[in-house]
Amino acid sequence: MDRGPRWLFLAGAILTAIFVARFGWLEASLGNGAFLVGALGLGMMGYCTRPQLGLALGLVASALAWVIAPPSLPPRPIPDNLQNALLVIWAALTAAVPAATGWIRGRIEAIASQSRALAFLASIGELATVSNQERELLEGTVKAAADKGGYALAMIWTSDEAGPEPSAWAVKQGRLRFQRKNGVWRLEFEGGRDRVQAEFTEELREKTLAARALRSGHLVECDRAANSNDPIVALARALGGRALAAAPIRVRHQAFGALVVAAEDPFAFRGEAAVPLEEAARTLGQALERLWLEDELMLLHLTDPLTGILNRRGFENRGRAMLAHARERGEKAALVFVDLDRFKEVNDTMGHHAGDEVLRQAALRLLSATRTRDLVARVGGDEFALLLLLEDPGVLGRITARLYQALARPYNVGERTFSLDASMGVALFPEDGATLEELLRKGDIAMYQAKEGRRRIAFFDAESDLALKRRLELEAELRTAIEERAIELDYQPVVAPPKGLVFLEALARWKVPPSVFIPLAEEIGLAWPLDRLVLEKAIEQIVQWRKAGLSARVSVNLSPRSFEEPELLAFLEEALSASKIPPGRLVLELTERAIFSTDRTALFEKLKTTGVQLALDDFGTGYSSLILVKDLPLDFIKLPREFVRDLPESERDAAIADTVHRLAHRLKMGLVAEGVERPEQIESLKAIGYRLFQGHYFAKPLPPHKAARWLSGQRPAY
């Protein structure tokens, strides 16, 4: 029996036997209706068998009936001349009925099978479009084969060096489980009271139908009569499969695996009926190729091209999944934020090529010091982040110790060898944060704590978090203040007693002291925007005083970073031209650090061409090199308050003040003593030869309307 139930075939066989053995009695009782009994029996058998077998049964039964009981018995309700003709007709019908019923059922089932195969193929096409992961695609394929295609068994075997092995499986009814233990693969089917097992070992892998399909490169069929050592064949039969076929899956012209299905229709894979299965395997291969390509593109998107490790996006992508897994299992984790100290010096002194090589070496060292399950990423210029699962309390200490030792080893770049330190900040999951973003933020805070405390590692501290939040708020407020021109200027006089005012120094004022917001502006890249605003306001104030009939010369302190701005020179030329003030009315004060960070001669010579004057502030507190004053076109030197504070008691300070005065006098530069607060200091400096002074003894920094009094001559006597 190939198609129908067993009881239907047995019932048809009984009727056929009665028709053959008792044809005479049937004819006597039913007349020519006896042929209907034979036709019915053979039709039932034909329904359960192949059309060809049904036709053969019909012909044999009709011949036996003709021989055993020829139409010669009374009564004869039909005339004799028609009897022979009717007998021939009924015999033909008796033979045709089983063949016709078998053929009709075969065609119906073939159409239904083809329809299910096409539905399965359509499902593969949909899966190929929507699936984002290989596992999702493979499992969706076998499930669609069982649900949509109606296959009794569906499996996908993937290939490796030792041969194919099951990767995904599904059955039409029941449940199929797969286990692998000690080199033995076991497939166990459970469906109601039925329980079937199939086992195969390493050596049987190459004898499976999937292996044959992979070797041949085309569809391989194994029908129910085939003699095979493949345990899957026996499993398929137990599940009701009467035909088994495997179609190879190729990805990028390479064997990936095989799609193996078992169908209840024994002709499901004969001729053109096999096309949907072949097409499904081909579509599956194309879908896998798309996923692989997307994975490669995603890998490029998530990988740092310089070091080959994860970038920030990749770290966030995989880190979130890693923390979700840890949360489900109740595990702890730690985020380690690593920064290479003094890395900027490498870039500045040896070039970016050397810096890139250091980063590559550092990435390899981080990978070697961690485990395969840990995540390592480059999240900034010289900043790295690691996410570690903590199976026991000692894991973190062991790994961080290895990290520090690895990063502390000398770096070799070309023919040069040098060492760098590393600062590490640690944030714990879930104590310090439940999300990766929170851990990254707090790990960054801890890293800065380590850097500021000159420690190699620091754990997140909540108090520092509050300080950082305040700093971030202050950064945002400072940006807004600069954009909205909310920075105010006070002016402190530089005087030459008894003659009076020489010039005014413009000093920026905001809601917090200058010692707080000016260094902050340099750190966050706002040094030039702040200095530009101060220059604009100082020039505007000079213009206003000129309109009021007051002549003023104003000095402005510029950050060293501002002298590195390409637009500084053009801005000054345009601002001076637009304001129409004499260029000599503006003095630019610079520090020794500004000179060493720029081209000393070229830039300052260009600045002098605009007509502005230059003053060297805090001379002697920085690099203290006479080169600073040898080649630069300076107009003033300012002796810092550090050398004025202890006068006249300190002989050393007096000696320094005298040396600076002699230098300025010989170079024909103006010399200003800063920080003057007591009359004794003035007398001591005058005795040396100083004539220009600045400090609280004469005036504190004044708002514009009070500074105007100094310009108009309304100032105290000395």
**pLDDT at residue 515 tops 50:** yes
**pLDDT at residue 307 tops 80:** yes
CATH number, domain of 543, equals 3.20.20.450
Do 104 and 155 sit in the same domain of this protein? no
**pLDDT at residue 566 tops 80:** yes
Confidence of residue 264 (pLDDT cuts 50, 70, 90): confident
Please give the average per-residue pLDDT across 471-480, as a whole number.
Answer: 89
Q: Which pair of structure tokens corresponds to residue 67? A: 């021989």
The DSSP-derived string for 233-268 is HHHHHHTT-SEEEEEEEEETTEEEEEEEEEESSTTT
Do 68 and 26 sit in the same domain of this protein? yes
For residue 546, the model assigns a pLDDT of 92
Identify the three-state secondary structure at position 344: helix
Owning domain of residue 56: 6-109
Q: What percent of the chain is modeled with pLDDT above 90? A: 26
Please give the average per-residue pLDDT across 369-374, as a whole number.
Answer: 89
* Mean pLDDT over each residue of the chain, to the nearest integer: 80
Please give the average per-residue pLDDT across 348-375, as a whole number.
Answer: 88
Residue 466 lies in a domain: no
List the beta bridge partners of residue 606: none
Query: CA-to-CA distance for 539 and 208, rounded, in angstroms?
Result: 90
For residue 320, the model assigns a pLDDT of 92
For residue 96, the model assigns a pLDDT of 61
Least confident of 58-67, 116-125, 308-317, 365-374: 58-67
Residue 121 lies in a domain: no
Please give the average per-residue pLDDT across 35-46, as a whole number.
Answer: 68
For residue 477, the model assigns a pLDDT of 94
Q: Residues 668-685: pLDDT tens digits?
A: 899 999 999 999 999 999
Higher pLDDT, 107 or 264: 264
Residue 659 lies in a domain: yes
Residue 124 lies in a domain: no
Output the 3-class SS for 368-437: HHCCCCCEEEECCCCEEEEEEEECCCHHHHHHHHHHHHHHHCCEEECCEEECCCEEEEEEEECCCCCCHH
Do 351 and 453 sit in the same domain of this protein? yes
**pLDDT at residue 551 tops 80:** yes
Residue type, 126: E
Do 281 and 338 sit in the same domain of this protein? no
**pLDDT at residue 140 tops 50:** yes
Residue 285 lies in a domain: yes
For residue 624, the model assigns a pLDDT of 47
Confidence of residue 387 (pLDDT cuts 50, 70, 90): very high
CATH number, domain of 332, equals 3.30.70.270
Do 225 and 135 sit in the same domain of this protein? yes
Identify the three-state secondary structure at position 67: helix
CA distances from 474 to 449, 465, 559 (A): 19, 14, 20
For residue 282, the model assigns a pLDDT of 87
Do 292 and 316 sit in the same domain of this protein? no
For residue 76, the model assigns a pLDDT of 47
Q: How many domains does the chain have?
A: 4
For residue 508, the model assigns a pLDDT of 95
Confidence of residue 544 (pLDDT cuts 50, 70, 90): very high
Quick check: 666 and 702 in contact, CB under 8 A? Answer: no
Query: CA-to-CA distance for 184 and 19, rounded, in angstroms?
Result: 55
Do 162 and 279 sit in the same domain of this protein? yes
Write the burial class of residue 107 (CB in 10 Å: 0-12 exposed, 13-18 middle, 19+ buried).
Answer: exposed
Q: Where are the beta strands (DSSP E) in 409-525?
A: 411-413, 416-418, 422-429, 457-459, 488-496, 500-509
Of the three residues 266, 297, 328, the one that is the final residue of a domain is 297
Quick check: 208 and 232 in contact, CB under 8 A? Answer: yes
Do 272 and 320 sit in the same domain of this protein? no
Residue 125 lies in a domain: no
Torsion, Cα of 630, 633, 639, 641 (10° steps)? -120
Please give the average per-residue pLDDT across 456-465, as a whole number.
Answer: 79
Higher pLDDT, 49 or 208: 208
Higher pLDDT, 476 or 129: 476
Query: CA-to-CA distance for 8 and 102, rounded, in angstroms?
Result: 13
For residue 435, the model assigns a pLDDT of 93
Output the 3-class SS for 647-704: CCCCHHHHHHHHHHHHHHHHCCCEEEECCCCCHHHHHHHHHHCCCEECCCCCCCCECH
Of the three residues 297, 321, 352, the one that is the final residue of a domain is 297
For residue 52, the model assigns a pLDDT of 54
Of the three residues 239, 269, 297, the one that is the final residue of a domain is 297
Residue 472 lies in a domain: no
Do 180 and 145 sit in the same domain of this protein? yes
CATH number, domain of 167, equals 3.30.450.40
Residue 718 lies in a domain: no
For residue 99, the model assigns a pLDDT of 57
The H or E element that residue 355 is part of is helix 352-369
Least confident of 226-235, 504-513, 673-682: 226-235
Least confident of 217-226, 312-321, 341-350: 217-226
Q: Residues 85-139: pLDDT tens digits?
A: 655 565 565 556 555 665 665 666 666 666 776 777 777 777 777 777 888 888 8
Q: Which of 190-194, 526-530, 597-601 has the highest mean pLDDT?
A: 526-530
Please give the average per-residue pLDDT across 421-444, as a whole number.
Answer: 91
Please give the average per-residue pLDDT across 448-474, as a whole number.
Answer: 78
Q: Which pair of structure tokens corresponds to residue 40? A: 């019915």
Quick check: 508 and 528 in contact, CB under 8 A? Answer: no
Quick check: 150 and 171 in contact, CB under 8 A? Answer: no
Confidence of residue 289 (pLDDT cuts 50, 70, 90): confident
Do 496 and 369 sit in the same domain of this protein? no
Do 344 and 428 sit in the same domain of this protein? yes
For residue 63, the model assigns a pLDDT of 58
What residue spans of 148-270 are helical by DSSP H? Answer: 209-216, 231-238
Do 311 and 267 sit in the same domain of this protein? no
